[in-house]
Amino acid sequence: MTINLLNYDGKGLVDLCATIGEKPFRAKQLLHWIHQSGTADFAAMSDLAKSLREKLAAMAVIELPQITYDSVAADGTRKWLLSVGSGNGIETVFIPEANRGTLCVSSQVGCALACTFCSTGKQGFNRNLTVAEIIGQLWIANKTIGLNTGDHASHANRAVTNVVMMGMGEPLANFDNVVTALDIMLDDHAYGLSRRRVTVSTSGLVPAIDRLRERCPVALAISLHAPNDALRDQLVPINKKYPIKELLAACQRYLPSAPRDFITFEYVMLDGVNDSTTHARELIKLVQDVPCKFNLIPFNSFPGSGFKRSSAEAVRIFRDILMQAGLVTTVRKTRGDDIAAACGQLAGQVKDKTRRTANLKTEAMQ
């Protein structure tokens, strides 16, 4: 059986090397070649013994998702649709800025959580991504943007300086594969990203937040989107299982291990739904005991969403109320919306196993 080395973190490669009679330092060499140099051909790994290269060629591959299309928005945002087999595709987005390059990485084909304002959630769910399919998005971005060249490219030359697990899917619903991919991102022999520059965004899977704290505490973002349970139950259905009080308690438990001394709360601004001054004041009271900052996200429309974006004035007033209460608050700049690469617009190609898309069509006809 052929194995894909992209599925292995450092420890996994050490164990693999042991099974084929190779010393542990070979694992570090492999990490360098695969992730720092972006090399997928064993024959090109010049400082590996020829015998090892031959062993690897006989038993392993470095197999990446295939690029179906690659588009660039007017503002420089770049989006890839990557084929992951069986008619399924995932989307990955790179956002260039003056002092950083942020990659928005997907963790599932579709999403089972069905947040009502999210295009991915409307597509239904097929399966979790493998480690190779998750880390492969970072590999492809660094390689195709062209700043990761040379036999052992330095971390400073990386196109991607920040990773946010905010693409398609709920990262913490694919816990083991996501955390292994995080280990590779953080490994100095691979991508060497700092924990502060890697963010996991969750809709609020409380037990998995606790597991992440113990296993691999990176920066944490919570998709909050409402200041009370009644409204959040409608917008983020997982809230019915893990209501806001439990979610905020998990945030408090996470903070002592977090690389940053705050939690980021993401809040999509929906016209007439969650954007009133009353909602803003409710939020202030809600998070008064949680060190946090708010990221207000103008809603990005998609066909059949049923929501409208809050006006710029409503967003400004909402932001000012939060800031006057001492809460650090930013308004996310909409990037890549002309190629449907903005927050909440990622849809990919999902062979839905949940029948959600069929049920939505039936409901629409009734």
- Quote the pLDDT of residue 117: 86
pTM (global) more than 0.85: yes
- Burial (CB count within 10 angstroms: exposed 0-12, middle 13-18, buried 19+), residue 149: exposed
Neighbours of 41 (CB within 10 A): 10
DSSP state at residue 339 = G
- Quote the pLDDT of residue 363: 40
- Quote the pLDDT of residue 114: 84
**Catalytic residue, candidates 91, 133, 170, 266:** 91
**Catalytic residue, candidates 111, 115, 292, 343:** 343
Tens digits of per-residue pLDDT, 119-168?
777 778 889 999 999 999 999 999 998 654 443 445 555 789 999 999 99
Between 206 and 302, name the one with better pLDDT. Answer: 206
- Quote the pLDDT of residue 29: 97
Q: Cα separations (Å) of 164 from 116, 196, 230, 232, 248? A: 21, 11, 29, 23, 21
Q: Is 343 a catalytic residue?
A: yes
H or E segment and range at residue 329: strand 328-331
The encoded tokens of residue 296 equal: 């207000």
Q: Is 91 a catalytic residue?
A: yes
